[in-house]
């Protein structure tokens, strides 16, 4: 039996407070997983994926017990979707959000809810900074999730989690029905692969360029880097981890403390295009279902807009 209560799902905790201020009733759920980084293997259930993600997030960000508890509690609420009169998905246009809405849509699709029970709000503006007067009018504009959007989400998720980057490239070349921002998000994800020439991802390059601009606090470096994005998707903690990667590598590209980071000699060569970082520091990352570990991971050729 369903109730008249609504389940509102969004990208994290920052929007939940505004929901309450706006009088948007029901159960509020923040998804909060950086699916654009770390392993997301194909063919797993939500709970199996959560086990993989919890292990990765705990290793990268710490707080293993808290991370596992948070994700498992999140999953349990979504699994109760049949108990709600409606499930409303509130998500933004950036990469972080677009991968989350895919995961949620395929999970709800597997649950075979009655048609019309799920609706989406997809915003080309960031929900977190919105005022009550800006957020509230979005609710009446929500759109029912049709069979076509569920099918589109499933196809795109399969491509994101595939072990071959050619599948991600295919997703970046076509529009997804009912997901107007997904194509651009997938294109941006392609750019997180190591690039031909210098071995940096676009995000790593932005961080390196932010340091090259001159001394600044970590928050200032974060602001500089995010200003280079068409649709910012990094949180500050994720960005600080990118800085750590560049500083703590076996071949560091930056050095110094948090208040005074500068480029190393190798960092200056890499940013100038005179050196390939992966020749000095083999990759150890994952993107979706693709392992980028080793000295010869798949590379992104941004000049030609394709994988090399």
168-213 tens-digit pLDDT: 999 999 999 999 999 999 999 999 999 999 999 999 999 999 999 9
**pLDDT value at 106 more than 60:** yes
**pLDDT value at 69 more than 50:** yes
DSSP string across 166-193: HHHHHHTTS-BTTBTTHHHHHHHHHTTS
Task: Give strand ranges (E) for 70-216.
Answer: 86-92, 118-123, 143-144
Alpha carbon distance, N-terminus to C-terminus of the chain: 52
pLDDT digits 0-9 by tens, 222-242: 999 999 999 999 899 999 999
**pLDDT value at 135 more than 50:** yes
Q: What is the phi/psi pair of residue 184, to 5°?
A: -65, -35
> What's the DSSP call for residue 234?
-
What is the percent of the chain with per-residue pLDDT over 70, rounded to a whole number? 99
Question: According to the model, what pLDDT value does residue 63 have?
Answer: 85
Domains of the chain in sequence order:
6-188 (3.40.50), 196-282 (1.10.10.10)
Question: According to the model, what pLDDT value does residue 3 have?
Answer: 60
Q: Per this entry, what is the length of the chain?
A: 308
**Is residue 206 helix, strand or coil?**
helix
Place of tokens 């799902």: 9
Question: According to the model, what pLDDT value does residue 99 have?
Answer: 98
Q: CB–CB of 198/277 below 8 Å?
A: yes
DSSP string across 1-68: ---S-EEEEESSHHHHHHHHHTT--SEEEE----TTSEE--TT--HHHHHHHHHHHHHHHH--HHHHH
Question: According to the model, what pLDDT value does residue 94 have?
Answer: 97
**pLDDT value at 93 more than 60:** yes
What is the percent of the chain with per-residue pLDDT over 90, rounded to a whole number? 93
**pLDDT value at 82 more than 90:** yes
Q: In whole numbers, what is the pLDDT of the chain averaged over residues?
A: 95
Q: Which of 51, 65, 57 is nearest to 38 (CA)?
A: 57
**pLDDT value at 11 more than 70:** yes
Q: Which residues contact 151 (CB under 8 A, 6 or more apart)?
A: 177
| Helix, strand counts (H, E) of the chain | 12, 12
Question: According to the model, what pLDDT value does residue 1 have?
Answer: 40
């Amino acid at each position: 039996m369903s109730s008249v209560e609504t389940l509102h799902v969004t990208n994290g905790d920052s929007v939940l407070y505004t929901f309450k201020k706006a009088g948007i009733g029901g159960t509020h759920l923040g998804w909060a997983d950086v699916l654009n980084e770390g392993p997301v293997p194909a063919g797993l259930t939500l709970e199996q994926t959560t086990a993989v993600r919890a292990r990765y997030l705990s290793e990268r960000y710490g707080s293993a017990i808290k991370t596992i508890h948070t994700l498992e509690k999140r999953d349990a609420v979504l699994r109760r979707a049949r108990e709600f009169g409606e499930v409303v998905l509130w998500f933004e246009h950036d990469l972080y959000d677009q991968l989350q809405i895919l995961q949620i849509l395929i999970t709800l699709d597997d649950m075979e809810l009655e048609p019309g029970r799920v609706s989406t709000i997809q915003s080309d503006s960031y929900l977190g900074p919105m005022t009550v007067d800006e957020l509230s009018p979005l609710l009446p504009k929500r759109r029912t999730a049709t069979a076509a959007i569920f099918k589109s989400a499933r196809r795109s998720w399969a491509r994101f989690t595939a072990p071959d980057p050619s599948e991600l490239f295919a997703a970046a070349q076509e529009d997804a029905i009912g997901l107007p921002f997904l194509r651009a998000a997938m294109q941006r994800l392609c750019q997180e692969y190591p690039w031909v020439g210098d071995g940096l991802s676009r995000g790593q390059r932005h961080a390196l360029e932010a340091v090259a601009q001159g001394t600044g606090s970590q928050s200032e470096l974060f602001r500089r880097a995010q200003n280079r994005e068409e649709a910012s998707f990094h949180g500050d903690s994720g960005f600080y981890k990118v800085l750590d990667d560049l500083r703590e590598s076996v071949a560091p590209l930056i050095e110094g403390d948090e208040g005074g980071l500068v480029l190393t000699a190798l960092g200056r060569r890499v940013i100038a295009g005179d050196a390939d970082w992966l020749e000095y520091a083999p990759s150890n990352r994952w993107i979706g279902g693709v392992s980028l570990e080793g000295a010869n991971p798949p590379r992104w050729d941004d000049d030609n807009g394709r994988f090399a």
